[in-house]
Amino acid sequence: MTLKSKTAVVTGSTSGIGLAIARAFAKEGASVVINGMGDAAEIEKERAGIEKEFGVKAIYSPADMTKPDEIAAMIALAEKTFGSVDVLVNNAGIQFVSPVEEFPIEKWNQILAINLSSAFHTIRAAVPGMKARKWGRIINTASAHSLIASPFKSAYVAAKHGIAGLTKTIALETATHGITVNCISPGYVWTPLVERQIPDTMKARGLTKEQVINDVLLEAQPTKQFVTVDQVAALAVFLTTDAASQITGANLSMDGGWTAG
Ligand code: NAD
C-alpha cells in the first residue's frame, strides 16, 4: 500500500477515468476526496463503496470546477478533514464538438474553465501545503489532444495544450520541493465522455455511429483498441511512488501509438 496515510483529491471523479483513479488510490490506502457532477444517490453509493471496499476514508466535494471559490473550498475541506493534500489529480473535463464558426461562446468559456483553469486554482491552493511537507504529487489528465489537434475541437485542444504547458511550468517551480508535476495523455478511453461525443461527431462529419467508432476514433489509434480507465489509473498510481520521484514535467502518452504517427 504505497499511499497509506496520504490524502488524494481527484477532480471529476464521479465517473470514468477520475473514478478509476480515486478507486486505485484508495486501494493503495489513501484517504480520498471525490468530486464531480451526477446523481446524489449514485455518488453516495460510490463514496460509501470506496470506504467499505478499501477500508479508507472517502469524502465528496460538490465543488463546481468553473467556480474558483468552490475549488479553493474543496482543497480547504480536504486539508481540514485529513490534514493534508498530498496527491492532486486534475481530471475534470468536458468536450464539445463543433466547427469554430458555430462554436458557442459559453461552451468555449466552460471548457477552458473546467479543463484548464480549474487546475490552476487547485494547484494554487494545494502547493503551499505540499511545499511545507516537502512532498507532493500533481497529476493532470491531459490528452493526446495536448500534443496534436483534431478538427471541430478548438476549445478542448486549446485547453489540453494549455494544461501541458501549466504542467511543465509548475514542475519547474516545485522541482526542489519534493513535488512532481506530470500529465497523462490518453488516447481514446471508453468512458461516458467519449460516448457522448459520438452523436455530435456523427452530425459534424455526416457519419453513422459505427463509422465514428471505427473510422474516426479507432482510426487514430494504431492498436485499434480503446485505452481502459484502469490502465490510466495504474499509471497515476505509479507516478505517486518513489520510483517515479525523478519524473517531473513529463507528458506521458497512453494512446495506443496515436501520437507516434
Ligand atoms: P467523464 O465524462 O466520464 O468524467 C468527467 C468527470 O468530470 C465527471 O466526474 C464529471 O462530473 C466531472 N465534471 C464535469 N464538469 C464538471 C464541473 N464543472 N465541476 C466538477 N466536475 C465536473 O469523462 P472521462 O473520459 O473520464 O474524462 C476525464 C478526463 O480525461 C477529462 O479531462 C478528459 O478530457 C480526459 N480524457 C479523456 C479521454 C477519453 O477518451 N475518455 C481521452 C483523453 C483525455
Q: 132 C-alpha vs ligand 1 centroid, how far in Å?
A: 30
What residue has cell string 444517490?
A: 41
Q: How far apart are CA 68 and CA 168, in angstroms?
A: 22
Mutate to test the pocket of ligand 1, among 9, 10, 17 (most ligand atoms within 8 A of CB): 17
Look up cell 468553473; give the residue: 66
> Mind listing the pLDDT tens digit for each residue in 91-150?
999 999 999 999 999 999 999 999 999 999 999 999 999 999 999 999 999 999 999 999
Residue 156 known to be catalytic? yes
Which candidate in 25, 108, 156, 188 is catalytic?
Answer: 156
Please tell me the pTM assigned to this model.
Answer: 0.96
Q: Tell me the C-alpha distance between 252 and 140, whole Å.
A: 10
Banded pLDDT at 177 (limits 50, 70, 90):
very high
The residue nearest atom 33 of ligand 1, judged by CA position, is 93
Instruction: Specify the ligand 1 atom closest to the Cα of 90.
Output: 32
Given CATH 2.60.15.10, say whether it is the number of domain 7-189+227-252: no
Any residues with CB less than 8 A from the CB of 235 and at least 6 apart, and which? 184, 252, 254
Domain ranges of the chain: 7-189+227-252, 190-226
Higher local confidence (pLDDT), 196 or 101: 101
Residue 128 C-alpha cell reads as 503551499
Residue 197 scores a pLDDT above 90: no
Q: Please, are residues 113 and 158 in contact by the beta-carbon 8 Å criterion?
A: no
Q: What's the CA gap between 249 and 253, in Å, rounded?
A: 13
Dihedral pair phi/psi, residue 188, rounded to 5°: -80, 120
Helix (H) or strand (E) holding 166: helix 154-174
